[in-house]
Amino acid sequence: MSRVERGPARLYHRFVVYALFFILLLPLAGTLLYSVATSWSATILPSGLTFKWYIALWSDPRFLTAFGQSLLVCVGALILSVVLILPLLFVVHYHFPRLDGLMNILILLPFAVPPVVSSVGLLQLYGSGPMAMVGTPWILIGCYFTVALPFMYRAITNNLQAINLTDLMDAAQLLGANTWQAAFLVVLPNLRKGLMVALLLSFSFLFGEFVFANLLVGTRYETLQVYLNNMRNSSGHFNSALVVSYFLFVLLLTWAANRLNKDKN
């Protein structure tokens, strides 16, 4: 009786999962098909297929510059986040665990203020004077650092709680390691998965960020999303090729990171 009940239930659950997966992939499949179509207007399927839009995209020096500049600011912000957040989290969880509740509140402050409001304040603070950084990648790196904070903090905090930091540090010190040796040689390798998740989440979010990039730097330091916005009046096939290329890049990066993470297990 239970097996008979489990069979239809399992089929129903699989059907729901596959249906949701199909619905989620349908817009991407349409964009992909449009990006390789010669023309597609009044017919169900495109009249022909071509890769000329991808060739035009990846041979555009402006696109390559915007792509590289997006990578630069995202990687710079993530390096800054790792350098500052990892020591902070170690100190809080090992020496001051009671501050974790306060940190959970403070870390959400970047989401409490809308990006448009933050950009107006940053324009007034850093638009002129000795700290004039508007129009430079430095202000974007600083903004992206604050945006990445919640993702980095929560993912690494969950990992720290899972490995039981206090017991792990005590065991390492009983074996003769000092605090720094235990932190770098014992704790840090155990944070690899949490750190990888934090970096992937942050990078995928920052790589597609538009508001800060458009308001604070614009075309003076054109990122990928600003480039896409500036090219909105061009061919729809060209823009579809850009969106698909962006998606495939993030997907390839995620796959490579997961593969490297598995190889080290």
**DSSP labels, the chain:** -HHHHHHHHHHHHHHHHHHHHHHHHHHHHHHHHHHTBS--SSSSS-S-B--HHHHHHHT-HHHHHHHHHHHHHHHHHHHHHHHHHHHHHHHHHHH-GGGHHHHHHHTTHHHHS-HHHHHHHHHHHHSSSTT--TTSHHHHHHHHHHHHHHHHHHHHHHHHHHHTHHHHHHHHHHTT--HHHHIIIIIHHHTHHHHHHHHHHHHHHHHT--HHHHHHTGGGG--HHHHHHHTTTS-HHHHHHHHHHHHHHHHHHHHHHHHHHHHT-
What distance, in Å, lies between the first and last C-alpha atoms of the chain? 42
Regarding predicted confidence, which is higher, 137 or 263? Answer: 137
- Domains (range + CATH), the chain: 1-50 (no CATH), 61-263 (1.10.3720.10)
pLDDT category of residue 91 using cuts at 50, 70 and 90 = confident
Q: Which residues contact 159 (CB under 8 A, 6 or more apart)?
A: 190, 191, 193, 194, 195
Mean pLDDT over residues 214-227, rounded? 89
Over the stretch 231-256, which tens digit does the pLDDT of each residue have? 887 788 888 898 899 888 888 887 87
Mean pLDDT over residues 161-184, rounded? 83
pLDDT category of residue 4 using cuts at 50, 70 and 90 = very low
- Say which residue the tokens 């916005």 belong to: 229
For residues 24 and 73, give the distance between their C-alpha atoms in angstroms, rounded to a whole number.
30
Q: What is the pLDDT of residue 262?
A: 65
Query: Does residue 3 surpass a pLDDT of 80?
Result: no
Over the stretch 177-206, which tens digit does the pLDDT of each residue have? 888 888 888 888 888 888 888 888 888 888
Over the stretch 107-160, which tens digit does the pLDDT of each residue have? 877 778 888 888 888 888 888 777 888 888 999 998 999 888 888 888 888 888
Query: Does residue 1 surpass a pLDDT of 60?
Result: no
